[in-house]
Chains A and B, each alone.
Chain A
Amino acid sequence: MLQNSNKIKFLVGSLDTLNNMPNVKVLPIFSDLIMQFLAELSTKLLTKVKTREFMDVISYAFWIRKGHTEKHKGFYKTDERMGRGIALHFAPSNVPVNFAVSFTSALLAGNPCIVRVSNKEFEQVNIICSTINEIIETSLPEMKNYINIIRYEHDDEITAQLSEMCDIRIIWGGDRTIKEIRKAPIPPRAIEMTFADRYSLVIINSDEYLKQDPKQIAKDFYTDTYYTDQNACSSPRLVVWTGNNIEKAKENFWKELEILINNDFELQPIKTVDKLDSFCRLSAVKTDLKLIKNNNSLYRVEVGSLTSDLLTYKDNSGYFFEYSTNKLEDIAPILTKPCQTISYLGIEPQEIRQIVEKFGPRGVDRIVPIGQTMELAFIWDGYNMIEAMSRIIYVR
């Protein structure tokens, strides 16, 4: 039971609907109700003028459109699986639509959701929440039992009360956030999924790069990095070059990227100091490196070796390590636990997968083409979200 209602702001739902959640029926995976809800949410979002300002809301709306969810439904045995119970989400503050991606998977897995969104106000959150409210008020009133979206200031008591109610707890955040929230126990049968701070890299074959459209690749890479201020866990922090034409490829690659940066990217003043500081901390202790920069929007730190601690010196807002090699296995030391996505250009993804298999590291959950690191998916951080959030009813 949740008590302190005055400290909680409901963006969707109310104290009554939230406290009623333990009585709500769980649903089969990809249930008609949820499929219809997402289809309506998609249509309504795409027809709103306001949505057009936000690429991320448009991407989300496309991701949940009927054709797409129907296609994914086909991948699962829907008569075998059902939801586990209340899914309690702690959404991050760095990617605005992430809260929606999180509840979408949980709803499709059959679970009623409580979502705690960040205190940071995002217009994207407002657009999505107000559209959900429209749907609940008009066509699908029963959805009110399945979704509560709330906001509250840091409060151990509320976090504890909510955690007591849940069957799945999903925490997006850094190590500290996860540690803080974990102080609140969850019921014995409940499960927890944590999405901690990660880093990512891209591998580019220089010969293949030179055969392709440099403008398109610059655009793809910009989407992976500068579009989110290089803030997303899946944004590459390291560029690994292979092949026989590395120097030429590098020159073209960064030149094309700088055209986009100079046109579209706005660097926050404090980041100029952050990036200088990050470079100094690294160069104080490592000598085989070289800094290349024309201005503060792009730092390229060429390193002579890849060591397991390199990525602890990572930064964002246009801060890249760069490494050239003809032996792809050189990347093995950095495939540590926090390593998430490897994106690639001109390299067989299976070749990368084989390196992961050979060395058996704890990291690497995704291998995707350049430009696709931000792609929304039902597989994330090594989880099949729908399966992890549902249960099998075994019948024989």
Chain B
Amino acid sequence: MIERFHELEPYSLEKSEKDKLLVSELLELTDFHYNNCEFYKNIVNGFGYSEQNIKTVEDFPFLPVRLFKELDLKSIPDDEVFKIMTSSGTTGQAVSKIYVDKDTAILQQKVMIRILSDYIGKNRVPILVIDSPSTVKNRVMFSARGAAIIGLNIVAKKMVFALNDDMTINWEVVNEFFENYGKEKFLIFGFTFIVWQHLYQELVRQNKKFDLPEAFLMTGGGWKKLISEQISRDEFKKRINDVLGIKHFLDHYGMVEQTGCIYAECECGHLHASIYSDVIPRRFNDFSPCEIGEEGILQTISVLPHSYPGHSLLTEDMGRVLGVDDCPCGRKGKYIEISGRIKQAEIRGCSDTYASKF
């Protein structure tokens, strides 16, 4: 039962205790989805799944994240669908469809709050979102960006959108926000590249500077675009500090398929798995689990998905576990580093690549 988790602090369990708790919860979840999602049942049968073979967290079957783009995977009747979350695919690409019922939605928000409060404190804070209000307007079909913002809304004392719909800075709103909250603890949230392009570069262009020593800058969405512009994480932090005076940085890793279970960055720059989730880098050769420090393809586990079988997924991201239970920040559990996406295939089938060029 998920309630057991809520009684614990999100980073309080050592490996052996956490594994025990996760295994029993994951057995329940796997059984539930097996009995309520026909596709899931057929797939794990195809893997030859049997409860008897489960000894550790590493033994559970995992679905490729991509499958949510190709199949409608849900474990609830249609009339219990509260919202459908979608991933932000580029135009023309298929998007993930995640079916969420009310219970799972509440659970996602609750866990998000619990994780975040471990970093920024229990009090609700004002949030300045570096995005446009239209990103969250369509309540039926959320994008990943929209979902992340909505998820944060519940921890917000007040939420304000810093950008206009054309992604220019809405100065009226921003100035007012800084006047009202600039001296206290607050959160600035945005996807890394949007913060860089639509906030930082705009400030530089307009030659504006602020001093916000109490602010937390929470980022997400990966570093790929910045790295392709030769901007490292440290460089990003340094430059943001130059123009905004920000000292606290809170990057995170997460995906729409496991909303709520974010991996947030501690003061040491490490991304932490909470008690609600786990991450297992696996070897390409045979999907066996990697040693600590060894890079692999990431399997992510979350105990939150109760309306769709997304509790154990194989991502297309690479990364490694840096350590377990021993981060200097004091948080227990695994702490990880994400190194990016797997390189796409060079040749695919008789037709595909050629077709994409023609």
Contact = CB atoms under 8 A, between A and B. Distances in A.
Interface of A: 92-94, 118-120, 153-154, 172-177, 180-181, 196-198, 229, 231-233, 267-274, 276-277, 279-287, 289-291, 294-297, 316
B62 to A, nearest CB: 8
A281 B67 contact: yes
Given A119-B357, A273-B314, A231 B349 contact: yes
Contact of A270 (B43, B63, B342): B342
Contacts of A172: 354
B46 A281 contact: no
Interface string B232-243: 000000000000
A21 B41 CA distance: 62
A320 B314 CA distance: 22
Nearest to A292: B48
Contact of A277 (B66, B342, B354): B66
Interface residues of B, number: 37
A92 B63 CA distance: 33
B227 interface: no
A283 B297 CA distance: 23
A197 B353 CA distance: 12
B190 to A, nearest CB: 29
A177 B355 contact: yes
Interface stretch (B88-96, B178-186, B265-273, B284-292): B284-292
A285 B41 CA distance: 10
B284 A177 contact: no
A193 B167 CA distance: 50
B345 A291 contact: no
Contacts of B347: 93-94, 120, 229, 231
B191 to A, nearest CB: 24
B43 to A, nearest CB: 5
A280 B63 contact: yes
A180 B358 contact: yes
B351 interface: yes
A198 to B, nearest CB: 7
A198 B43 contact: no
13 contacts: A93-B354, A94-B349, A119-B357, A173-B354, A173-B358, A174-B349, A174-B351, A174-B354, A177-B354, A270-B316, A277-B67, A283-B47, A316-B349
B45 interface: yes
Contacts of B345: 268, 270-271, 274
Interface string B44-69: 01111000000000000001101100
A101 B352 CA distance: 21
B42 A233 contact: no
Nearest to A272: B284
A276 B341 CA distance: 17
A232 B350 contact: yes
Given A273-B342, A280-B64, A287 B354 contact: no
Interface in B306-358: 314, 316, 342-355, 357-358
Nearest to B288: A295
A291 B284 CA distance: 18
A-B interface, 8 closest residue pairs, ranked by CB to CB distance from nearest: A174-B351, A283-B46, A295-B286, A176-B355, A284-B39, A197-B351, A197-B350, A277-B64
Contact of A118 (B47, B349, B351, B357): B357
B165 interface: no
Contacts of A268: 343, 345-346
B201 to A, nearest CB: 30
B71 A276 contact: no
Contacts of A282: 46
A269 B342 CA distance: 7
Given A154-B358, A197-B351, A270-B344, 7 more contacts: A173-B351, A173-B358, A267-B284, A268-B345, A272-B287, A281-B70, A297-B285
Contacts of B316: 270, 273
A292 to B, nearest CB: 9
Contacts of A287: 42, 45
A284 B285 CA distance: 24
Max chain B C-beta neighbours (<10 A), residue from A176, A280, A287, A295: A280
A233 B285 CA distance: 26
Contacts of A119: 357
B357 A284 contact: no
B349 A197 contact: yes
Contact of B71 (A153, A284, A295): A284
A216 to B, nearest CB: 27
